[in-house]
Structure 1
Amino acid sequence: MREATMERDLVLRADAGAVATLTLNDPGRLNALSEAMLGALRATLDAIAGETAVRVVVIRGAGRAFCAGHDLREMTEARQAPDGGRARFASLFGQAAALMLAITRLPQPVVAQVHGIATAAGCQLVASCDLAVAAEGTRFGVNGVDIGLFCSTPMVALTRNIPLKHAFHMLSTGEFVEAAEARRLGLVNRVVAAPDLEAETAALAATLAAKLGPVLRLGKRTFYEQAEMGLEAAYAHAGRVMTENMLRPDTAEGIAAFLGKRAPEWEQ
């Protein structure tokens, strides 16, 4: 296992085989997405994007929570600027949006390992990941409305994960949902006992990492591309991608191995 740190250790990276685990490491602030945290996580993901040896990324939080959203103390300090913080707020929300897009556009699948709470932009982070495993007792919320700040940017990811009426209920009331309800709504894939969270997330990551890396990356990219298209265009695009996929030598080997009832001989 290789470990490295970036930007004041706000994000810890640990690689085990083809899985890179990133730990948000500011537990005293419940791993808030400060400007520095956003920058550190984005830099780490940008580095991973070009690493073909990494086939899966896991994001988790240190301490007692996954992520409590933006750093409200930092945002309050920004109000001291002559413009009342306008430029810095715009930069912060743009930085957060760029991070969420980077997760979606990362070639590798990203799994959120969630415990404690995931609130506001922290809930947005879960919704932006491709898959999510949550511990029993985890609470999810977009509760900015309770302090007079409607969670408009978290709304973008949330409304692409769960039904609209449920999303608006969370956004407009500030009410939290428990892990089991988050799974029912589609925000997370699995809910497991808290002591099993790390092992269950690792098992899911290992399942993904065992697949053919180039095809998994192709599938993730196409998944999000077709989701933004109309039905006819989506089928046409997916058909072109699947044709090219079928022409890959490693796909031919995979099919031959299946028909021959043997394990495929892939170089990955």
Structure 2
Amino acid sequence: MTDENQDALVLRQDQGHVARLILNSPANYNALSRAMIDSLSAALDDLAQSDMRVVIIAAQGKAFCAGHDLREFQAARGDDDGGRAAYETLFAQCAAMMQKLPALPQPVIAEVQGIATAAGCQLVASCDLAVAAQGVRFGVNGVNIGLFCSTPMVALSRAIPPRAAFELLVTGDFIDADRAQDLGLVNRVVAADVLTAETMALAQIIAAKLPAAIRMGKRAFHQQQGMSLADAYASTGPVICENLLRADTAEGIQAFLEKRKPDWD
């Protein structure tokens, strides 16, 4: 299925069990305006209720996402309160949208074809996996204009080592895709001309696994992060037991023992 409204801020293309969401505002570098946040949030809500197995977030144009819309920031300064209410609402909406990514039942892969800055880098860090084109740059560079990227920091500091995250936040420096891979922000770096194909190939590998196991596993993965070692084992033990008790898991194990493909369809 291809989104019929080609002017929509977020397009959706389905290929088999994989849904591809495409940020479609290249004129402003796919900035996370209020409208873009609302559109992406609504698309994620739809997918949460669907039987799709993997989600890809991609983008049109030169940039993956250049962060928040600075023109919206400046326009809000004309409000009676100097923009406080508008800013509080915007960041609450953005935080809620970002949190939908790890909460989504399906694994989410960022397909990064262009620069990802500030909240755009936050978007990449909030996805479960990321594939980037060679030469792509990442940064949380708000400090260069006097704005510390406090909210992007939340996702970034959970995706890469804290000292590396803090260095990026206080210097405003950019890193290339290879360095981003070294730090763990992206999983794979590929040639630009095969980015979509390589991202889809990764998605199809995941989509071929038992959907129930992937959904249970993703939920458990995010729940145990930040727990103590003992609490993490206490949390995941019941999950793997429930997984083992499933009939389709019994079929998967038996198929392995009999050296055949599992009958999951």
Fold match (TM-score > 0.5):
yes
Q: Identify the residue that residue 89 of structure 2 maps to in structure 1.
A: 91
Quick one: which of 205, 208, 211 aligns to 1:207? Answer: 205
TM-score (norm 2): 0.98
- Name the amino acid aligned to 2:35: A
| 1:3 Cα deviation after fit | 1.3
| Per-residue deviation, 1:7 | 10
2:30 aligns to what?
31
Cα 1:214/1:5, change in 2 over 3 Å: farther
Question: C-alpha distance in 2, partners of 1:159/1:118?
Answer: 16
Q: Distance in 2 between matches of 1:7 and 1:139?
A: 27
Matched, 1:40 2:39: yes
Q: Could you tell me which of 138, 141, 148 is aligned with 1:140?
A: 138
TM superposition outliers: structure 1 runs of 4+ over 4 Å: 5-8
Distance 2:73 2:255 in 1: 56
Q: How many equivalent residue pairs? A: 265
> Using the alignment, how far apart are the partners of 1:155 and 1:97 within structure 2?
12
CA shift for structure 1 position 116: 1.7
Alpha carbons 2:64, 2:120 under 8 Å: kept: yes
Q: Identity of aligned pairs, percent?
A: 60
Q: With the length of structure 1 as denominator, give the TM-score of the two structures.
A: 0.97
Residue 155 of structure 1: CA displacement?
0.2
SS in 1 for 2:261: coil
Match of 2:175 in 1: 177
Q: Which residue of 1 aligns with 2:153?
A: 155
Aligned counterparts of 1:240 and 1:8: Cα–Cα separation in 2:
46
TM superposition shift of 1:5: 5.5
- Which residue number in structure 2 is paired with residue 72 of structure 1? 70
* Aligned ranges 1:1-268 → 2 under 5 Å: 2-4=1-3, 9-52=8-51, 54-267=52-265
Spell out, residue by residue over 1:11-56, the C-alpha distance to the aligned partner (whole angstroms, 9 max, x if none).
000001000000000000000000000000000000010112x000
Contact preservation (8 Å) 1:6, 1:44: no
Distance 1:95 1:27 in 2: 22
CA deviations over 1:56-86 (Å, ceiling 9, x no partner): 0000110111000000001110111000000
* Structure 1 runs not aligned, ≥5 long: none
The one-letter code sitting in structure 2 at the alignment partner of 1:64 is K
SS at match of 1:261: coil
Aligned equivalents of 1:4, 1:164: Cα separation in 2: 39
CA distance in 1, matches of 2:185, 2:254: 37
Query: 5+ residue gaps in structure 2?
Result: none
Measured on the aligned residues, the alpha-carbon RMSD in Å equals 1.1
SS at match of 1:59: strand
1:208-228 superposed Cα distances (whole Å, 9 cap, x missing partner): 110111111111000000113
